[in-house]
Structure 1
């Protein structure tokens, strides 16, 4: 399913190096030395220049690049981290798409700047060294997103809606539909009633919609939600393992576990084995994403296939259209599908 809304960007006024020099009360040459670090400058002078740059939202090299009439032919990708089974296929999609369109790719992990809302160190990727950015969920503060948007830098968001008032394209999955279908499979095909959920990070939109799908499936079949069966997995095998171990220790009845991602599902499986329980004979486990991990678990994981690599390719395509001044899709919802393996109780004979 695709939701199509057309949007265009508005031009913005860009401060110049002359503005920075005037604001700081120094020469243009001094500003250049501070920016390029080509010669020593007094500490207090550096602080004045840096304050002027921040207050004016001046970005080094951006004006010069515009005057030169050329582009960097480089796209930036901001991630919260680089690692885990989810990110590799996404990177493949983005890299292949960038190559087809003739762009280089620069990647930066937000882990080097763990609290972007503090306002701190300069952004490693931006208008000074890229023609546009793909921003994965929670890799950039809202303040910086707004600044880049107002500046006119093309932006595309992955798995995150734009802040209110910003027409930034967003690419994501049909999370709620996929979650509802896999939980309904547990209910309708296997007759499970006590189904726990391992959610992702509280602020993550994918996790929210997957939880909504879980709740819709319960409600559609007349099952009352039991808050004791809601666990925080945070898309982490170890956190999920500990959460499930804690649940098992309470003695709350449990038929099955729906994990909001495959890595949390792997943690749930570890906890069940440590407790001497069989999968799926004693407790079934299902996941979401269908990463490379899913088919290699024991037993192989029933999960929801999310087109992770395709999302990367679509994000690149949308960004290139923005860079070229073309209209784009506001929201792209990529369809998901159920992948049946043994962990739910199917194919076990």
Structure 2
């Protein structure tokens, strides 16, 4: 006689299938790879024994939480508002919920707070997960889309980002050719952040193309964050006042707020003494004093497209490798342009 579901244990399922209890648990919770042969055998045995896992485990086994996750190392500044708007609109359209968490991938003592155990798939912003974490999740075929970064080791993980190198070359050349600036400071973003890497690459390329020597002393740490940029520039002015600078590419608009404050407190006029350019064209940029020359980046579109690609993965459709969205220089008075 076939056993009743409420009397069958996971141990009996394992014994009949000829596998360990741990293997049955992995099959139910989908938290580690299992061969197709073993999966089919377990499916057959559980049907024969009429074994029904606990409701929560059953949800995990089907991977239908109807939750999409966003994982980032921080959510500190205004940049994330349009990104989240783009993500949330698509999630709501599909009848899902959005779970947002911050995680520092260098903390190896704590696992990521969101993943296969509580979402159907995740969006990973920048360095929100380490390469090792991404490789492990990819091996389990867990749906992921990367935002503002490319996958490690050429893994087949979709990625959505914006063009950084070419537009940075253009904005640095604008400072050099239009405003005759020759001592241009650059504020780096967070270490290992791909946007920062490509912006620095474009910065160096423009200097080289215009026969301006690269000066490492003019590359400062801004972290894409206003308080850090303010403190860094204030210290530079106080201790390195013999090093000339006549323009600053702040790396992003949030850092530009701190840069403008430090310049103002130290009696530098913008743009008469120092031209200032940001990146992202956030909502406040046109309202700064002076209005900020910056780069228009389609941040909301990045969030929207990345989320649509994640839902394509749910339907077993691979949307492509890297989606690179265009950017555009927006000139205002902070660089010296008359607008």
TM-score interval w.r.t. the shorter chain?
0.7 to 0.9
Deviations 1:289-341 (A, max 9, x none): 11123122111110011110000001011111111001212001110001111
Deviations 1:74-102 (A, max 9, x none): 21111212231100110000001212233
In the alignment, the residues of structure 2 paired with residue 289 and residue 317 of structure 1 have an alpha-carbon distance, to the nearest angstrom, of 22
Which secondary structure does the structure 2 equivalent of 1:298 belong to? coil
Which secondary structure does the structure 1 equivalent of 2:273 belong to? coil
Partner residue, 1:105: 98
In the TM superposition, residue 117 of structure 1 has moved relative to its aligned partner by 4.0
Pair 1:203-2:192 in alignment: yes
Which secondary structure does the structure 2 equivalent of 1:71 belong to? coil
Q: How does 1:1-349 map to 2 (within 5 A)?
A: 22=20, 64-65=58-59, 71-110=64-103, 114=104, 116-249=105-238, 250=240, 251-347=242-338
Deviations 1:2-42 (A, max 9, x none): xxxxxxxxxxxxxx9977x9467xx98xxx9xx9xxxxxxx
Structure 1 runs not aligned, ≥5 long: 1-15, 36-52
Change (3 A) 1:70 1:213: closer
Which secondary structure does the structure 2 equivalent of 1:85 belong to? coil
Partner residue, 1:47: none
Partner residue, 1:50: none
Which secondary structure does the structure 2 equivalent of 1:164 belong to? helix
Partner residue, 2:6: none
Which secondary structure does the structure 2 equivalent of 1:108 belong to? strand
In the alignment, the residues of structure 2 paired with residue 275 and residue 65 of structure 1 have an alpha-carbon distance, to the nearest angstrom, of 60
Deviations 1:216-255 (A, max 9, x none): 1111111111111111111121221222223323221111
Q: Is the 8 A contact 2:33 2:140 kept in 1?
A: no
Q: In the comparison of the two structures, how many residue pairs are matched? A: 301
In the alignment, the residues of structure 2 paired with residue 121 and residue 234 of structure 1 have an alpha-carbon distance, to the nearest angstrom, of 24
Relative to the length of structure 2, the TM-score reads 0.81
Q: Is the 8 A contact 1:71 1:131 kept in 2?
A: yes
Deviations 1:89-138 (A, max 9, x none): 1000000121223322111122xxx4x34433343322222221101112
In the TM superposition, residue 211 of structure 1 has moved relative to its aligned partner by 0.6
Change (3 A) 1:122 1:227: closer
- Structure possessing the higher relative contact order (Cα contacts under 8 Å, 6 or more residues apart): 1
Q: Say what the alpha-carbon RMSD is for the aligned residues.
A: 2.8
In the alignment, the residues of structure 2 paired with residue 54 and residue 170 of structure 1 have an alpha-carbon distance, to the nearest angstrom, of 24
Change (3 A) 1:247 1:137: same
Structure 2 runs not aligned, ≥5 long: 1-9, 35-53
